[in-house]
Structure 1
Amino acid sequence: MSLRAATVFAALVFAVPALAENTVSHGYSAFGDLKYGPDFSHFDYANPEAPKGGTMSQRQLYGTPTFDSLNTFIIKGDSAPEVGVHMYDSLMVRAYDEPDAYYGLVAETIEYPEDLSWVAFNLRPEARFHDGEPVTASDIVFTVDALKTMGHPYYRNLLSDVSLVEAEDKHRVRFDLGPGAGAAFPGDLASLPVLPEHFYNAHPFDETWIVAPLGSGPYLLDRVDPPRTVRFCRDPDYWARDLPVNVGRNNFDCFAYEYFADDTVGLEAFAAGEYTMRVEYRSASWATGYDFPAVQRGWVKQMIIPDGRPANAQGIWFNLRNPVLQDRRVRKALELAFNFEWTNDTLFYGTYKRTDSFFENTDMQASGLPEGGELALLNEFRDQLPDEIFTDPAYVPYSGSPQPRDRSAMRQASALLDEAGWTVGSDGIRRNSDGNVLSLEFPEDSRSLERVMVPFVQNLQALGIDTEFELIEPSSLTERRQQFDFDLSATAWSVAVTPSAELRAFYGSKAASAEGSNNLTGLADPVVDALIERAVNAGSRDELVTAARALDRVLRQKLLWIGNWHLGAHRVAVWDIFGIPETPAPYDFNRNVDFWWFDQAKFDAIAAEGGLR
């Protein structure tokens, strides 16, 4: 090679930019640094000295009234959600004192390039299922394929950005991701349950069953009595008990759950010591129901535990698949008939705040007029949005008045219905020009919610709307929601601290027609879809906040629901037999309980007085 050629060759070599190295880490955060380094010993909110033993008994999680299946991943049946909480490990676990951080459990490390076109997890060779079989990359592949093809629509939507999942070797699994996956999506993958492929050879994934599931988590199914009781006890050979993410965690020998279809009966059982921890969802019970002897003697205490997460998206959702409810004026009239102020003062003892936003209790909630980055984002869709998005403050529902029937609101609602072509006949019923009656079906399975909804339904009936509020069995309500066989549905969705791909399941067009999906309203709107993708693909938390505010503003303007109420904290009653960390993590109360422990001395003191046995 000549000197000139060698010089040119050298110049070309050194001119090529160095390839960016992949990140390999013990943890993952969508936006920003990790709080805990690779050598951390335990989470700050864990007590590494917490004793092991005892039983945590409580009523069913999430208010689920019944169960007839232990398969928690499909649309069929009413599954016991506690199975998913205690029996399955995931690749990584959340740190509940960070908004979006995950640390290795089944996976020792995570690897990904800067563009997040793929993500790989390197598994711990020691990971085992409860039957002693190793957890391998092929189990992860099976899990994702099964959830994506046969799982609940929530999982199908969530995993739509996985273009390929493959086992590169026994302990390494790689996901190829679509361009819309977003920075938070690796965390979604990391938190999926790890399912054993060999178990499903004998137990069809897409069927309900009551046999004990096989997992790799800290607890085994000890006893099940559908639809009343489910109990989990510690796996003495749990493979991951000493990992940093589990230090100070899983302290109880057993978790037991008692199911109550009637919450009044449930409170009576708690008062009698039939279970020892209760999250109270009813403000009336909290205000007046805790005057039983165990409280008076100091055996039971009430606590208010702050919640740093977004409030649930709780409301009465409109099914826009019904042509009657596609008219915004009708939906506005229905909203005016719900008197929140009277409901809160009279039924809730003034404890709640009105829910305005789909991201309530966060900085992602839209307010006032759009400005800055939010305005710039909305301007991209200006020709597809109504003018009031830009000229009016973010929509806030009318709160009502202290009177049970707000006359001003009812007059406004009546005028809107008249304007929409639904006029009152001589029999007091509203009909359109074709003589069709304005009828709505409102099925519900909660007797505790009945006292709240009946005054609302009475207001609708006073407006001339033929409204049927029907209390039905939980299994029937589940089936009707899955088939979108309702007009109004009182439902609450959990909102993530870092919203991401799950937004598609709640508000995305693809979910609108999927039976059993979380998109109860049937919303299918291109601007909403585009704003969801901006949130999912946000490159920073500031970008996420901007996209979420724009999405919130657009959703609220559409009047998809009648926003209900929120507290911003948890009302918790306990028999005083537990130890609780001094500084609980702010971002997930339900999982904080994993870090409590049984206090034998407290139990013995109450038992000596005849309080517990």
Structure 2
Amino acid sequence: MLAGLVPVRAEGAQGIAMHGSPALPAGFTHMPYANPDAPKGGRLIQGILGTFDSLNPLIVRGQAVQQVRGFVIESLMTRGNDEAFTLYGLLAESIETNDARTYVTFRINPRAQFSDGRPVTADDVLFSWELLRDKGRPNHRQFYAKVTKAEALDARTVRFDFGGQGDRELPLILGLMPVLPKHAIDVATFEDTSMAAPLGSGPYRVTTVKPGASVTLTRNPDYWGRDLPVNRGLWNFDEIRLDFYREANGHFEAFKRGLYDYRVENEPSRWHDGYDFPAARGGDVARDSIKTGLPKPSEFLVFNTRRPMFADVRVRRALTLLFDFEWINRNYFFGLYTRSGGFFAGSELSAYGRAADSGERALLQPYLARLPSEILDGSFRLPVSDGSGRDRGALRTALALLSQAGYDLDGNLLRQRGTKIPFTFEILVTTRDQERIALAYGRDLKRAGITASVRSVDGVQFDQRRLNFDFDMIQNRWDQSLSPGNEQSFYWGTQAADLTGTRNYMGARDPAIDAMISAMLVAHDRPDFVTAVRALDRVLMSGFYAIPLYYVGEQWIARWNRIERPAATALTGYLPETWWHRPDRK
């Protein structure tokens, strides 16, 4: 083997890490967060709030059943969920790359096959890459277009070259590429929504579909990869049924009646006092509070800077000051929420409250003049109100910023100085919690002469308007890992600002953001990587693109005790694929 190549073999389960080396040694028998002796059988019913009109999660159109990815459609490699970003062999028997990661070669496991018995080949991998590059979701198109050359070296070996782009994450991104069967895909209709059961190589097959209501996945008894170390103790249920609910209260009431097996709770008031029902009191429902090692998933109110009223950063900063977190947290959420000014809350990647070190300042040197000094020196803090809902200090500071941006109070209305047009905008919401927060925020804005109307729409319309940037302000969450990478361009890179379907909802167009993302992607070791991510966090905070709302430091999971989970929890938190049905329970 050539010097610098990194072997990854399914039999030995050696992997590839974004930084450093994989944690698991060659020859490991199972993932540390899985129970290799977990019993097989039974059924898991998952209740999902929302609807669907497609079984293809790899296209822009439609509301897809996301669980198809992973349960039905596999990738070349799979994540080690106890590590920041490490992959281990799945469809790929081995992976090779060089130290500069200018190319990657995958060798497919000879046992790998689709559920119809046809083998997975290099042609299938190349077909999938080309199809998703040209017709897939925007993130696929953006990432896979970085490949400068792709070729099959033989029937089971495929190589991708990157043309010296300086992006060390690309071998891992290709490792996570969904692999589709060339013989079963109609390229002409791939982008159309469809209820046809997709053909995959994964542990489950789609067997029953009730449009908009439920999807049933049945374990494939001939699944080729059931004995791989990465799969031992996973995929334990014979059947998984996904039941969809249109309304949040009905969704919860169905859980209380035992109509589905577990729920992830996101509402503090419900977690605090909503589980006082007979099954929970009697021990038939267990509640798990799980601490993860990931950045905490924070909620934000997002400014659409494509709208003229939000184009000025002073306006966005003023409106951030007017959000009374203390009042909302105390009156709505029993004080269970925490707040952070950054986008990687509660992790080593966060710049909030940290002074920029010499490495960050070197990266930020071309942009230092326009970054607020308090964000650079770590003294910046989100405002803390007196909790009265009428904090005069925050109001005075906000009005001063708005005056600098060209707005004056005229009686009870804030008007643009030149045009006399009142400052008004719309907050788009889709859940009861979002509506409550928007209405409370609207009350705070009214004290500054700003009129914020709240429009509630169903989930489908909300998603379509969000994807098309057809809103003034929305509530959104960007989930982050301990190894953010190319997806950051998808979240807030310049090229994503006007590309429908990306998650750059705020419309950020900042060369400093693009430069920090590039620095992340070329970092060779973890310390340099952390420095680049903190620098990115600092630039994002400086732009005041979104109002930080809150986060919970734990995952809240409620489950009927007929469902059991391993004693060990992954770094990433709960993983239903590691759970099983207790044989002694119905």
Could you tell me the TM-score, scaled by structure 2's length?
0.95
- Aligned amino acid, residue 310 of structure 2: L
Whether the 8 Å contact between 2:427 and 2:438 is mirrored in structure 1 is no
Q: Deviations over 1:74-101 (max 9, x none)?
A: 1111112122131111111111112221
Match of 1:245 among 223, 230, 234: 230
Instruction: Report percent identity of matched pairs.
Output: 36
Q: Which has the larger Rg?
A: 1
Partner residue in 2 for 1:596: 579
Cα RMSD of the aligned pairs, angstroms, is 2.0
Q: Deviations over 1:402-424 (max 9, x none)?
A: 21332322232233223322223
User: CA shift at 1:30, angstroms?
Assistant: 1.7
User: CA shift at 1:202, angstroms?
Assistant: 7.1
Q: Equivalent residues in 2 for 1:54-65 (5 A)?
A: 54-60=42-48, 65=50
**Does the residue aligned with 2:45 lie in a helix, a strand or coil?**
strand
Whether the 8 Å contact between 1:47 and 1:248 is mirrored in structure 2 is yes
Q: Equivalent residues in 2 for 1:106-505 (5 A)?
A: 106-201=91-186, 204-366=189-351, 367-382=353-368, 385-386=370-371, 388=373, 392-393=377-378, 395-426=380-411, 428=413, 430-505=415-490
- Aligned amino acid, residue 90 of structure 1: S
- Aligned amino acid, residue 158 of structure 2: V
Q: Which runs of 5 or more residues in structure 2 are unaligned?
A: 10-14
Is 411-420 or 238-247 further displaced after alignment?
411-420
Partner residue in 1 for 2:32: 44
- Aligned amino acid, residue 264 of structure 2: V
User: CA shift at 1:145, angstroms?
Assistant: 1.4
Distance 1:455 1:178 in 2: 52
Whether the 8 Å contact between 1:185 and 1:500 is mirrored in structure 2 is no
Whether the 8 Å contact between 1:429 and 1:437 is mirrored in structure 2 is yes
Distance 2:238 2:372 in 1: 59
- Aligned amino acid, residue 362 of structure 1: S
**Does the residue aligned with 2:413 lie in a helix, a strand or coil?**
coil
User: CA shift at 1:490, angstroms?
Assistant: 0.6
Whether the 8 Å contact between 1:313 and 1:495 is mirrored in structure 2 is no
Distance 1:491 1:113 in 2: 38
**Does the residue aligned with 2:107 lie in a helix, a strand or coil?**
strand
**Does the residue aligned with 2:189 lie in a helix, a strand or coil?**
coil
- Aligned amino acid, residue 112 of structure 1: T
Partner residue in 2 for 1:67: 52
Partner residue in 2 for 1:546: 531
User: CA shift at 1:279, angstroms?
Assistant: 0.8
**Does the residue aligned with 1:25 lie in a helix, a strand or coil?**
coil
- Aligned amino acid, residue 578 of structure 2: F
Q: Which runs of 5 or more residues in structure 1 are unaligned?
A: 1-17, 605-613
Whether the 8 Å contact between 1:59 and 1:258 is mirrored in structure 2 is yes
- Aligned amino acid, residue 364 of structure 2: L
Partner residue in 2 for 1:6: none
Number of aligned positions between the proteins: 580
Distance 1:394 1:233, change over 3 A: farther
Whether the 8 Å contact between 1:395 and 1:553 is mirrored in structure 2 is no
Distance 2:122 2:577 in 1: 28
Partner residue in 2 for 1:22: 5
Distance 1:201 1:390, change over 3 A: closer
User: CA shift at 1:457, angstroms?
Assistant: 1.8
Distance 1:353 1:186 in 2: 36
- Aligned amino acid, residue 572 of structure 1: I
Partner residue in 1 for 2:20: 32
User: CA shift at 1:430, angstroms?
Assistant: 2.9
Partner residue in 1 for 2:569: 584
Whether the 8 Å contact between 1:87 and 1:216 is mirrored in structure 2 is yes
Distance 1:107 1:85, change over 3 A: closer
Q: Deviations over 1:78-126 (max 9, x none)?
A: 1121221311111111111122211111000001122211001000122
Distance 1:202 1:321 in 2: 35
Distance 1:390 1:422 in 2: 25
Partner residue in 2 for 1:11: none
Distance 1:34 1:21, change over 3 A: closer
Whether the 8 Å contact between 1:356 and 1:397 is mirrored in structure 2 is yes
**Does the residue aligned with 1:582 lie in a helix, a strand or coil?**
coil
Whether the 8 Å contact between 1:161 and 1:181 is mirrored in structure 2 is no
Whether the 8 Å contact between 2:102 and 2:165 is mirrored in structure 1 is no
User: CA shift at 1:58, angstroms?
Assistant: 2.0
Whether the 8 Å contact between 2:114 and 2:199 is mirrored in structure 1 is yes
User: CA shift at 1:556, angstroms?
Assistant: 0.3
The ranges of structure 1 where at least 4 consecutive aligned residues each deviate by more than 4 angstroms after the TM superposition are: 389-392
**Does the residue aligned with 1:491 lie in a helix, a strand or coil?**
strand
Distance 1:580 1:33 in 2: 28
Distance 1:87 1:181, change over 3 A: farther
